[in-house]
């Protein structure tokens, strides 16, 4: 299957700082990338959908000014958690698709805000 690389795999940051998570499609051009959040023992909750070259579409209840998403190229999308607080601690996962195939997922990023 296609490879999606997510970096970093884990990060610890201080409350009030910003954290950037990268999602790269390594062997295909991802026209669409999705960002999810997952709490322990719960399923993936879609945060936003980003299409290359356009603004991300956020799900209801997701603060777009807090979770900045950039999809500047066909192989890279970034999620920046701005002014992070302990309640933002979670597992963040990206997925990528070229719309002709199923979505492939990154390995996830464990964010801990202290």
Partner 1 sequence: EDQVTQSPEALRLQEGESSSLNCSYTVSGLRGLFWYRQDPGKGPEFLFTLYSAGEEKEKERLKATLTKKESFLHITAPKPEDSATYLCAVGEKLTFGTGTRLTIIP
Question: Which residues are near partner 1 by CB under 8 A?
Answer: 1, 4, 6, 34, 41-44, 46, 49, 91, 93, 95, 102-108, 110
Q: Smallest distance from the beta carbon of 74 to partner 1, in angstroms? A: 19
Question: What is the pairing mode between strands 10-13 and 109-113?
Answer: parallel
> What's the gap between Cα 73 and its chain centre?
15
- 82 or 103: whose CB is closer to partner 1? 103
9, 27, 34, 80, 98 from 38: Cα distances, Å: 14, 26, 13, 16, 23
- 66 or 110: whose CB is closer to partner 1? 110
- 55 or 83: whose CB is closer to partner 1? 55
């Amino acid at each position: 299957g296609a490879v999606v690389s997510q970096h970093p795999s884990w990060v610890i940051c201080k409350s009030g700082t910003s954290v950037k998570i990268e999602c790269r499609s390594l062997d295909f051009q991802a026209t669409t990338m999705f960002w999810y959040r997952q709490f322990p023992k719960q399923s993936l909750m879609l945060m936003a959908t980003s299409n290359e070259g356009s603004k991300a579409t956020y799900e209801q209840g997701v603060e777009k000014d807090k979770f900045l998403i950039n999809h500047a190229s066909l192989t890279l999308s970034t999620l920046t958690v701005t002014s992070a607080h302990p309640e933002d601690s979670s597992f963040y996962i990206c997925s990528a698709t070229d719309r002709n195939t199923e979505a492939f997922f990154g390995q996830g990023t464990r964010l801990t805000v202290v």
